[in-house]
Structure 1
Amino acid sequence: MLTIYDTTGTSLLKHDDTAAITADTVWFDLLNPTKEEDNRVEDLLKISVPTRAEMREIEASSRFYQENGASYMTGFIVHNIDEHTLGSSTLTFILTGNALVTVRYSDSKAFPAFLSRVERGDATCRTGAGIMIGLIETLIERQADLIEQIQDRVDKLAKGVFELQKRRTRDTKLDALLKGIGAQGDIVARVTESATSLERVLHVLKNTAQERNCDGKIFQRIETTDRDLTSLAEHMRFLSDRIGFLLNATLGLISNEQNQIIKLFSVMAVMMMPPTLVASIYGMNFRHMPELEWIEGYPLALGLMVISAVIPFIYFRHRGWL
């Protein structure tokens, strides 16, 4: 889908497809574009729109380059942060003249959130560079919200791990905790990758803005956004370390629980050895066994087996092994 926006200086209006492209046309948003839509943007702006496969390439030369006077910047973003399944995709920014082209294959909620900011007057939209930095700011705000959600989830997991011995319920089983910790670790890794990618995009945008002699306010916003990214990176490192600690603690509890089970089986095996020995002796079928004729032989053998099991049990309890 191709959506074109014109600027009024303080707001963005959807461009009428029947009208001609003017100097006020500042944003071409390509969402899951068709070949025809790619061709239309290429004909209007005289640029080359990268394909989805080209956007996925990880080489810096494939993500940040200039071609026909246009600057290409591709970053990695996360989306669906309000849902249970976190998504990830690439997003390409193309600055050409005074216009911005965005190419994306995910319906990130950061885009309608940015449009809402423009309507409230919280984001400038006079130039393509201004729209680009506004989009990046919104993406980072969304990531900050996600980090807050992760923090709450990690706090809940930590409470479950360290209160596990007090309250054993189905929701606090070790295997469920282990899966939950692993899931949060994967999300933190994705957000960290996205933040690192956006930081590179910011640095390239700064150089591009200098070459294009952009407004000084753009540079101020870039510097502020860069500091926000640095702050988020520090918080994500803290979360990553904490998740690693919880993972080690959970694995330690699993190992301890397994050791307790093996210990119990070992103690029970030792306790049953004397009764087994007594039963084995009197289970033999030799002809000459004096005890076979004893009237009290059977209860005596049973009592001997009970006593031989109780004595190790008392000893193990005294030593604290049970």
Structure 2
Amino acid sequence: MITVYDAVGDRLAQRTEIGNLATAAWIDVLNPADDEDKMIEQALGIEVPTRSEMREIEASNRFYTENGAYYMTGIIVHASSLDVPMTSVVTFILSGNRLVTVRYAEPRAFPLYVTRATKGDPACRSSVGIMIGLVEMLIEREADLIERVQDEVERMAPLVFGQKGAGQPSRNRRLDLLLKTVGKEGDITARAQESAMSLNRLLLYFANAARERKDDKRLIARIESANNDITSLMESLRFLAARTSFLLDATLGMISTEQNQIIKLFSVMAVMLMPPTLVASIYGMNFAHMPELHETWGYPAALGLMFVSGLVPFLYFRKKGWL
């Protein structure tokens, strides 16, 4: 699907019909079909990268110049409302005073920017201004995602090290749930890190392209400011990744400690029951000459001896702090 926008004064206006693409300010291509790619290539004289080409990881395939057009592909995080956000690639093509975006996802940042730009933004007069506006919105959305993860990690930290309270699920069950939650937040952090690193590289190349094109210095300053923002987000993500890794290790350690406690309890109980079992085994023998078996006090005496023989190890283990 092709959506075309024109720069009308200080704002963007969406066309009702595609019309002449050569006069457009921004051409947004979502899930393009083959005929749509050919239409853009013929109208603008540029090559539209395919989805497989956009996914190439080599820098030379993501940032390059061809026929006077600058190609920049970045990884973005989207669908942040889901439990685990998704990642996708977006290609920005600067061709003269036109911007072409090619994407196979619908990040919330795009309609948010359109809403803002249609109300008025002087930077919309140029393709560089439109692109930096989109990138700034992508960074803003990623920052919101990072803040959400930070809040969740802060909430989980006390739960890992202090799990008390009656009427709640068992401790082991809660540790299992925490392990899954910490793992999920770690996955989100890794995706955000990948996106932030990609946007950082994109902005560096974008700034150089804007200088080569001799674009407005104020727009170049906005690009550099956006790069500073993404750099600060990368620092926050490094700290968040370390914090998440620590919580993951701590949760695994707590689970291991709980399992060791259970095994220790079983071992102590087995040792405690050995003397009573020995007494019961002795009096379970079928020898003819066992005088106390014929006495009225024999049965209570045997029970008492089993009780005392089990109580003594219990008190000893309690004193040693093994229970």
TM-score by length of 1: 0.94
Verify the 8 A CA contact 2:21 2:44 in the aligned structure 1. no
For 1:311 and 1:148, locate their aligned partners in 2 and report how far apart those are by CA, in whole Å. 57
Q: Determine the structure 2 residue equivalent to 1:130.
A: 129
SS at match of 1:82: coil
Equivalent residues in 2 for 1:84-233, closer than 5 Å:
84-122=83-121, 124-166=123-165, 169-170=168-169, 173-233=174-234
Verify the 8 A CA contact 2:22 2:43 in the aligned structure 1. no
Code of the aligned partner of 2:79: N
- In structure 2, stretches of 5+ residues that fail to align are none
For 1:270 and 1:123, locate their aligned partners in 2 and report how far apart those are by CA, in whole Å. 82
Which stretch shifts more, 285-294 or 56-65?
285-294
Verify the 8 A CA contact 1:123 1:134 in the aligned structure 2. no
Q: How many residues align?
A: 321
For 2:21 and 2:231, locate their aligned partners in 1 and report how far apart those are by CA, in whole Å. 39
1:282 lines up with 2:283 in the alignment: yes
For 1:144 and 1:5, locate their aligned partners in 2 and report how far apart those are by CA, in whole Å. 27
For 1:146 and 1:18, locate their aligned partners in 2 and report how far apart those are by CA, in whole Å. 35
- The structural deviation recorded for 1:243 is 1.0
For 1:42 and 1:153, locate their aligned partners in 2 and report how far apart those are by CA, in whole Å. 46
Query: Per-residue CA shift, 1:31-51, capped at 9, x if unaligned?
Result: 111111111111111111111
Code of the aligned partner of 1:5: Y
For 2:68 and 2:13, locate their aligned partners in 1 and report how far apart those are by CA, in whole Å. 26
Q: Determine the structure 1 residue equivalent to 2:45.
A: 46
- The structural deviation recorded for 1:105 is 0.4
Query: Per-residue CA shift, 1:142-163, capped at 9, x if unaligned?
Result: 0011111111111111132233
Q: 1:207 to 1:171 in 2, by over 3 A?
A: farther
For 2:100 and 2:142, locate their aligned partners in 1 and report how far apart those are by CA, in whole Å. 22
Q: 1:62 to 1:167 in 2, by over 3 A?
A: farther
Verify the 8 A CA contact 1:144 1:232 in the aligned structure 2. yes
Code of the aligned partner of 1:105: Y
- The structural deviation recorded for 1:123 is 6.4
- The structural deviation recorded for 1:127 is 1.4
Q: 1:71 to 1:168 in 2, by over 3 A?
A: farther
- The structural deviation recorded for 1:11 is 0.8
Code of the aligned partner of 1:272: L
Code of the aligned partner of 1:159: P
1:12 lines up with 2:12 in the alignment: yes
- The structural deviation recorded for 1:16 is 4.4
TM-score by length of 2: 0.94
Code of the aligned partner of 2:196: A
For 1:226 and 1:171, locate their aligned partners in 2 and report how far apart those are by CA, in whole Å. 47
Code of the aligned partner of 1:110: A
For 2:177 and 2:293, locate their aligned partners in 1 and report how far apart those are by CA, in whole Å. 57
- The structural deviation recorded for 1:122 is 4.9
Verify the 8 A CA contact 1:117 1:123 in the aligned structure 2. no
Verify the 8 A CA contact 2:2 2:32 in the aligned structure 1. yes
Q: Determine the structure 2 residue equivalent to 1:273.
A: 274
- In structure 1, stretches of 5+ residues that fail to align are none
Q: 1:56 to 1:22 in 2, by over 3 A?
A: closer
Q: Determine the structure 2 residue equivalent to 1:293.
A: 294
